[in-house]
Structure 1
Amino acid sequence: MSLDFAINGKVRDLADLKATLRRLWFELYPRSGKSLVLDTSGFEHVMVGEFKSAGSVNGMHSWLSFYEKEQNGTLNYYGHTCSVHSNTVCAAFEWDGRIKRKASLFLRTSPAYDIAIYSLCFILYPGGMCPIVVDGTAMVIRTYSKDGHIATAFVVE
């Protein structure tokens, strides 16, 4: 199976893609700039969310994680802060007493879709802006890199 059509030779074959995805999403790395503690992963940050400090939330760009936390009573949705695209939302919320002023989320997508589109954008534009078209709507995904891992990925408002 050739992957060149999608990722312009940045991944050699299916085995390389699998190894790349494992590294990007699941290998631990230190979130803090000076720390050596391997305390986070791209998956945790983007798909689950994490506590940045005693008072704030970092990441959480998955509507499914957002929904689950709201349903179990650990997340209080404050409202949307922007709605540029019909299939995305920017939300403000409190999660276990910590505040996130704005998190952008795709709506009604599967975790597999989110990981696929964020991975593709990170591989093609690591730590940059990735232009995409979803359901005929042009938008941009922003990725950040930390030591070769996905530090974050989200839809730009």
Structure 2
Amino acid sequence: LFEWVDEEKVFERKTYKTFKDLLDNYELECGEAEVVTPEEKKENVAFVDAIMETDVMQEAHKYLISKGKSPEHVGQFKWQLYKIWFSLVRRTRGDRDQDSSSFEHVFVGEGRDDKFIGLHNWIQFYLQEKAGNIDYHGYFRHSTVQDDEHFRLIALQFDWREEKGKPISSCFLGTSPEFEIAAYTICFLLDRLCKTDVQLGEYEVEIDVKPFAKNYIGTAYIAAARMY
């Protein structure tokens, strides 16, 4: 999918660098206990701190305050973000250990039996394709705008390490970590079961967020408002 990405330019940005630091903190398989080390917790906090320095997250915070969904104090809002995205949950049924988090599912991806679930982020997809972990089968371009040569929203098919299949996974290309966190957090806090059409510049998109155990995000992704 990716012929070339200027990694030096991309990952010199603070939010991208701190985001990348999080991607190797998780066990692949659902059912395998997740253990957050002190170093990993520091990385989580560093990411939240970094995104809160951006205009995108500051505007998101103001909007959520206006809707009565978030505390005004920045420190309390950071804690709200941390709990939503990094709290450990039990995704598998039965008496299992906590094996997942909202962040892991949406941005990193997980294995469940012969399937690969989650992973709706272009940075992780790029890094895993580069590492040879993803066998990319092609994409379906969504008709977000007419005659758009530089399309940004695609649906993908791929296999993970030739073991686990992902029949379809949509992602937006080139979006920042703070943009995706802001969009999904707003939708989740306004409506726990959110499926709403949004105009993002020239793109008509649908943001789909589903809850997990009420207080966490089970999945979240951006798709085309008109699928085909």
- TM > 0.5 between the two? yes
Q: Deviations over 1:69-125 (max 9, x none)?
A: 001111011011342333211100011221100001011112222112111111122
Letter in 1 for 2:133: T
d(CA) in 1 for partners of 2:90 and 2:134?
Answer: 26
- Report the count of equivalent residues: 156
TM-score with structure 2 setting the length: 0.63
Q: Does 1:42 align with 2:42?
A: no
More helix by share: 2
Find 2:130's aligned residue among 53, 71, 90.
Answer: 71
Q: Does 1:114 align with 2:180?
A: yes
* Aligned-pair identity (%): 29
CA RMSD of aligned residues (A): 2.0
Unaligned 5+ runs, structure 1: none
Corresponding residue number in structure 2 for 1:6: 63
d(CA) in 2 for partners of 1:129 and 1:42?
Answer: 17
Correspondences of 1:24-103 after superposition (within 5 Å): 24-53=84-113, 55-85=114-144, 86-96=151-161, 97-103=163-169
d(CA) in 1 for partners of 2:86 and 2:143?
Answer: 31
d(CA) in 1 for partners of 2:101 and 2:76?
Answer: 19
TM-score with structure 1 setting the length: 0.89
Say whether the 8 Å CA contact 2:60–2:182 is kept in structure 1. no
Residue 15 (structure 1) shift: 2.8
Q: Does 1:136 align with 2:196?
A: no
Corresponding residue number in structure 1 for 2:148: none
Letter in 2 for 1:107: L
